[in-house]
Amino acid sequence: MPPTPRPPAVSRPRAAVAFWVGAVLLYAGLGVLLPPLFLLGFWESVPFLFLATWLAGRLFPRPVPRLPAAPGE
């Protein structure tokens, strides 16, 4: 009986978790270098997070489920 190929769904979440752990550590590292900018500035974290979110969407794509239509839609 031929061996069953390993499903990619197992490794992809691990890679995504590793990606996000890396993103958090990278931002924390920026904060250590320049605390007044990165660790005090919540708004400064938003562009970084947006970039990471956009990149994660490209690296680990998932279909966005459709919501049930609201009345009148």
Partner 1 sequence: MSWAAHDLEPYLFRAKLGGIISLPLCLLGSYSPDILSKWAVYGLDFTGDAKLVSDPVQLHRGFPGVGFTHSLSFGILCAAIVLLASRNPMWAFSFLLGAWAHVFSDTLDSVGVMLLWPLTDWHLHFDVWQYVGQAGRKEDAIAYYTSLGGVWDILWAVWLGMHWRMFTAYHFHTEIVPRDSFWRWMRTRASDAMMLTVYRASAFFGIASIIGWYVWALLVNDFQNALDWSLGGPQWAPRQGPP
Residues engaged in binding partner 1 (CB under 8 A): 16-17, 20, 23-25, 27-32, 35-36, 38-40, 42, 45-46, 49-50, 53-54, 56-57, 62, 64-65, 67-68, 70
* Residue 33 identity (one-letter amino acid): L
Q: How far is the CB of 19 from partner 1 (least distance, A)?
A: 12
Cβ atoms of 36 and 72 within 8 Å: the answer is no
Q: How far is the CB of 7 from partner 1 (least distance, A)?
A: 16
The pair phi, psi for residue 40, each rounded to 5°, is -95, -20
Instruction: Choose between 11 and 49: whose C-beta lies nearer to partner 1.
Output: 49
Cα distances (Å, whole numbers) of residue 66 to 60, 62, 69 = 19, 12, 9
